[in-house]
Amino acid sequence: MATETFHQSLWSALTPAAEPMPPLVGDVSSDIVVVGAGFLGLSTALHMAEGGAKVVLLEADEPGFGASGRNTGFVVPSLKTAFGPADVRGLLGEAGDRLTALVGQSGNAVFDLIRRYAIDCSAEQTGWLQPAHTAALQRILEQRQRDWATLGRRVEILSREETAEKIGASGYHGALLDPTGGQINPLAYARGLARATMAQGVGIYAGSRVQQVTRADGKWMAVTDKGRVRADRMLLTTNALVDKLYPAVADAIIPVRVHQIASQHFGEADQASILHGRSPVADTRRHTFAVRWSPDGRLVTGGLVMPGPMPLERATRYFSKRLENIFPALGRIRAEHVWSGVIAATLDSMPRFMSLEPGLDAAIGCNGRGIALTTSLGRAIAGLYSGTLAVGEFPLPHKPPQPVPGKLVAQYGPAFWLPWSNLRDSLESGAGLAAS
Ligand SMILES: Cc1cc2nc3c(=O)[nH]c(=O)nc-3n(C[C@H](O)[C@H](O)[C@H](O)COP(=O)(O)OP(=O)(O)OC[C@H]3O[C@@H](n4cnc5c(N)ncnc54)[C@H](O)[C@@H]3O)c2cc1C
Domain at 376, CATH number? 3.50.50.60
Q: Is the Cβ atom of 36 under 6 angstroms away from ligand 1?
A: yes
Residue 127 falls inside a structural domain: yes
- Kindly give the number of the ligand 1 atom that is closest to the alpha carbon of 344: 19
Q: Is the Cβ atom of 371 under 6 angstroms away from ligand 1?
A: yes
- Kindly give the number of the ligand 1 atom that is closest to the alpha carbon of 369: 11
Residue nearest to atom 19 of ligand 1 (CA): 370
Q: Which residues contact 91 (CB under 8 A, 6 or more apart)?
A: 83, 348, 350
Handedness of CA 374, 92, 49, 203 (dihedral sign): negative
CA 377/CA 379 separation, integer angstroms: 5
Residue 436 falls inside a structural domain: no
| One-letter amino acid of 127 | G
Q: Is the Cβ atom of 209 under 6 angstroms away from ligand 1?
A: yes
Torsion of CA 121, 124, 128, 133, to 10 degrees: -90
Q: How far is the CA of 89 from the centre of ligand 1 (A)?
A: 26
Task: With both helix axes pointing from N to C terminus, report the angle between 106-116 and 94-104 in degrees, rounded to the nearest 10.
Answer: 50
Q: How far is the CA of 286 from the centre of ligand 1 (A)?
A: 21
Q: How many domains does the chain have?
A: 1
For residue 154, how many other CB atoms are within 10 A of its CB? Answer: 10
Q: How far is the CA of 202 from the centre of ligand 1 (A)?
A: 20
Q: Is the Cβ atom of 187 under 6 angstroms away from ligand 1?
A: no
Q: Is the Cβ atom of 74 under 6 angstroms away from ligand 1?
A: yes
Q: Mutate which of 72, 122, 242 to test ligand 1's pocket (most atoms within 8 Å of Cβ)?
A: 72
Q: Is the Cβ atom of 348 under 6 angstroms away from ligand 1?
A: no
Q: Is the Cβ atom of 177 under 6 angstroms away from ligand 1?
A: no
Strand partners, 75: 182
Half-sphere exposure of 102 (CA within 13 A, CB side): 24
Q: Mutate which of 78, 241, 253, 260 to test ligand 1's pocket (most atoms within 8 Å of Cβ)?
A: 241
Of 198, 187, 158, 190, the C-alpha closest to 175 is 158
Q: How far is the CA of 41 from the centre of ligand 1 (A)?
A: 10
Using DSSP's 3-state secondary structure scheme, residue 360 falls into strand
Q: Is the Cβ atom of 40 under 6 angstroms away from ligand 1?
A: yes
Residue 1 falls inside a structural domain: no
Task: With both helix axes pointing from N to C terminus, report the angle between 94-104 and 85-92 in degrees, rounded to the nearest 10.
Answer: 130
Q: Which residues contact 292 (CB under 8 A, 6 or more apart)?
A: 72, 73, 74, 183, 275, 278, 280, 281, 299, 300, 301
What is the per-residue burial (b if ≥16 Cβ within 10 Å, else e) of 295-310?
beebbbbbbbbeeeee
CA 215/CA 50 separation, integer angstroms: 27
Q: Which pLDDT score is estimated for 430?
A: 61
Q: How far is the CA of 269 from the centre of ligand 1 (A)?
A: 35
CB distance 190 to 117 below 8 Å? no
Q: Which pLDDT score is estimated for 436?
A: 34
Report H helices in 65-185.
85-92, 94-104, 106-116, 135-150, 160-167
Q: Is the Cβ atom of 429 under 6 angstroms away from ligand 1?
A: no
Residue nearest to atom 21 of ligand 1 (CA): 68
Q: Is the Cβ atom of 262 under 6 angstroms away from ligand 1?
A: no
Residue 435 falls inside a structural domain: no
Q: Which pLDDT score is estimated for 434?
A: 45
Residue nearest to atom 33 of ligand 1 (CA): 36
Q: Is the Cβ atom of 59 under 6 angstroms away from ligand 1?
A: yes
For residue 173, how many other CB atoms are within 10 A of its CB? Answer: 20
Residue nearest to atom 4 of ligand 1 (CA): 71
Residue 434 falls inside a structural domain: no
Q: Which residues contact 126 (CB under 8 A, 6 or more apart)?
A: 182, 183, 277, 278, 279, 280
Domain span at 113? 6-411+414-429
Residue nearest to atom 14 of ligand 1 (CA): 368
Per-residue pLDDT of the chain (436 residues; tens, 9 = 90+): 457 999 999 999 999 999 889 999 999 999 999 999 999 999 999 999 999 999 999 999 999 999 999 999 999 999 987 788 899 999 999 999 999 999 999 999 999 999 999 999 999 999 999 999 999 999 999 999 999 999 999 999 999 999 999 999 999 999 999 999 999 999 999 999 999 999 999 999 999 999 999 999 999 999 999 999 999 999 999 998 888 899 999 999 999 999 999 999 999 999 999 999 999 999 999 899 999 999 999 999 999 998 889 999 999 999 999 999 999 999 999 999 999 999 999 989 999 999 999 999 999 988 888 999 999 999 999 999 999 999 999 999 999 999 998 776 666 776 777 878 888 888 887 644 543 3
Q: Is the Cβ atom of 320 under 6 angstroms away from ligand 1?
A: no
Residue 306 falls inside a structural domain: yes
Residue 261 falls inside a structural domain: yes
Residue nearest to atom 16 of ligand 1 (CA): 370
Q: Is the Cβ atom of 341 under 6 angstroms away from ligand 1?
A: yes
Q: What are phi and psi of 122, to 5 degrees?
A: 50, 45
Half-sphere exposure of 229 (CA within 13 A, CB side): 29
